[in-house]
A and B are shown apart, each in its own frame.
Chain A
Amino acid sequence: MLRAIGLTKTFGAQTALDRLDLDIRPGEIYCLLGANGAGKTTTINLFLNFIAPSAGEVQIDGIDVTRDPVATKQHVAYIPEQVMLYGVLSGLENLDYFSSLALGKRLPRERLLQLMDEVSLDAGAAHKRVSAYSKGMRQKIWIAVALAKQAKAYLLDEPTSGLDPQAASEFSSLLKRASEGGVAVLTTTHDLFHAKQTATRIGIMKKGRLVESLDSAQIGQTDLQALYLQHMRD
Chain B
Amino acid sequence: MRQEMRLLLAERSLWLVSALFLLLIGYALYNGVHQTTLRDRAQAAITTDDARTRADQLSQLGRIMAGREVPSPFQNPADPARMGGGFGAHHALMPSAPLAPVALGQTDLFPGQFKVTYQSKIHFIHANDIENPWHLLSGHFDLAFVIVYLLPLLIFALSYNLLSVERESGTLKLLLSQPLALRTLVLGKVAVRAGVLLGLAVLVPLGVLLLARPESAGAGTSTLWWSLLVGAYALFWFALVVAVNAFGRSSASNAMLLVISWVVLVLIAPVLLNLGVTAASPAPSRTELATRTRMVTIEAMNRYSKLLSADYRHIGKPEVLLPKDGKIEMSGRALASYSIQKQIDEEIQPDLDRFDAQHARQQQLVARYSLLSPAAVAYEGMTALAGTGARRYAHFHDLMDGHHQAWKKFFFPRIDGGIAITEADFPRIPRFVWTEEDARLIDRQAFPALLKLVMPSLLLLGIAAWRLRSYPVV
Contact = CB atoms under 8 A, between A and B. Distances in A.
A70 B7 contact: no
A51 interface: yes
Given A70-B181, A73-B179, A102-B179, A84 B7 contact: no
A104 B6 CA distance: 16
A73 to B, nearest CB: 4
B178 A102 contact: yes
B170 interface: yes
Contact of B180 (A83, A89, A101): A101
B177 A48 contact: yes
B179 A71 contact: yes
Nearest to A87: B169
Interface in B160-215: 169-171, 173-181
Contacts of B181: 69-70
A142 B170 CA distance: 13
Interface stretch (A24-32, A92-100, A196-204, A224-232): A92-100
B474 interface: yes
B353 interface: no
Contacts, number: 68
A80 interface: yes
B309 interface: no
A166 B234 CA distance: 52
B180 A73 contact: yes
Contact of A89 (B7, B169, B170, B179): B7
Contacts of B10: 86, 88-89, 93
Given A50-B474, A100-B3, A85 B174 contact: yes
B3 A101 contact: yes
B174 A84 contact: yes
Given A45-B474, A50-B474, A88 B177 contact: no
Contacts of A142: 174
Contact of A73 (B7, B171, B177, B474): B177
Nearest to B180: A101
Nearest to A71: B179
B438 interface: no
A113 to B, nearest CB: 18
Nearest to B470: A52
Contact of A101 (B173, B178, B473): B178
B325 interface: no
A84 B11 contact: no
A114 interface: no
Contacts of B179: 70-71, 73-74, 101-102, 104
Contacts of B174: 78, 80, 83-85, 98, 142
A85 B172 CA distance: 10
A77 interface: yes
Given A50-B473, A51-B474, A70-B180, A101 B175 contact: yes
A82 interface: yes
B6 A98 contact: no
Nearest to A83: B174
Contacts of B7: 86, 88-89, 97
A50 B3 contact: no
B175 to A, nearest CB: 7
A81 to B, nearest CB: 10
B229 to A, nearest CB: 34
A39 B323 CA distance: 111
Interface in B1-48: 2-3, 6-7, 10-11
A51 B176 CA distance: 12
A84 B177 CA distance: 13
Contacts of B473: 45, 50-51
A84 B170 contact: yes
A68 to B, nearest CB: 10
Interface in A87-124: 88-89, 93, 96-98, 100-102, 104
B5 to A, nearest CB: 11
A129 to B, nearest CB: 9
B435 to A, nearest CB: 57
Interface string A56-79: 000000000000011101101110
B171 A50 contact: no
A98 B178 contact: yes
A77 B11 CA distance: 27
Q: Which residue, B173, B174, B176, B177, has most C-beta atoms of chain A within 10 A?
A: B177
Contact of B170 (A77, A80, A97, A155): A80
A216 B177 CA distance: 28
Contact of B177 (A51, A76, A85, A86): A76
A83 B170 CA distance: 8
Contacts of A48: 173, 176-177
Nearest to B184: A70
A139 B170 CA distance: 13
A77 B173 CA distance: 11
Contacts of B175: 98, 101
Interface string A192-228: 0000000000000000000000000000000000000
A97 B171 contact: no
Contacts of B169: 84
Contacts of A84: 169-171, 174
A78 B180 CA distance: 14
B54 to A, nearest CB: 69
Contacts of A50: 173, 176, 473-474
A118 to B, nearest CB: 19
Contacts of B178: 73, 98, 101-102
B171 A78 contact: no
Given A50-B473, A80-B174, A97 B180 contact: no
A78 B6 CA distance: 24
Top 9 closest A-B pairs, CB basis?
A84-B170, A78-B177, A88-B10, A50-B473, A73-B179, A101-B178, A74-B179, A97-B3, A102-B178
9 contacts: A48-B176, A48-B177, A50-B176, A73-B180, A78-B177, A83-B174, A88-B7, A88-B10, A97-B3
Given A50-B173, A82-B170, A84-B171, 6 more contacts: A50-B474, A76-B177, A80-B170, A86-B10, A96-B3, A98-B174
